[in-house]
Amino acid sequence: QKEVEQDPGPLSVPEGAIVSLNCTYSNSAFQYFMWYRQYSRKGPELLMYTYSSGNKEDGRFTAQVDKSSKYISLFIRDSQPSDSATYLCAMSLNFGNEKLTFGTGTRLTIIP
């Protein structure tokens, strides 16, 4: 069993829709949770960073963590074609310089 499971998609939604991306994990010791966005032929860029259960909002993006269920989500409101990318969840045991454990990534396409 993989430590982090993520539906690889691909996922296609019309522009303006709400997108929900999810990851589950098996190691309850993970404390820090990240969402990275990766455009084609680019390196991943950090989108959201959370470290507690609950919701964290940043513009059109909301990250949700449920440690009791070992489940994290990223919601994108009013999706735009520029949101088309692969979204990777990642998590770590400790803060800072630390091994990141990634999901496989979900490829998202926003259709104009």
The answer to whether 25 touches 4, Cβ cutoff 8 Å, is yes
Place of tokens 């989500």: 73
Q: How far is the CB of 1 from other proteins (least distance, A)?
A: 13
**Of 19, 21, 25, 44, which one interacts with other proteins (CB under 8 A)?**
44
Q: What H or E segment, with its residue span, contains residue 83?
A: none
88 touches other proteins by CB under 8 A: yes
Q: Angle at CA 24, nearest 5°, toward 26 and 30? A: 50
The answer to whether 9 touches 106, Cβ cutoff 8 Å, is yes
Output 48 or 76, the one with its CB closest to other proteins: 48
Output 67 or 107, the one with its CB closest to other proteins: 107
From the list 12-20, 52-60, 69-77, 94-102, the region that binds other proteins by CB under 8 A is: 94-102
From the list 12-20, 66-74, 75-83, 97-105, the region that binds other proteins by CB under 8 A is: 97-105
93 touches other proteins by CB under 8 A: no
Closest CA to 37 of 84, 75, 96: 84
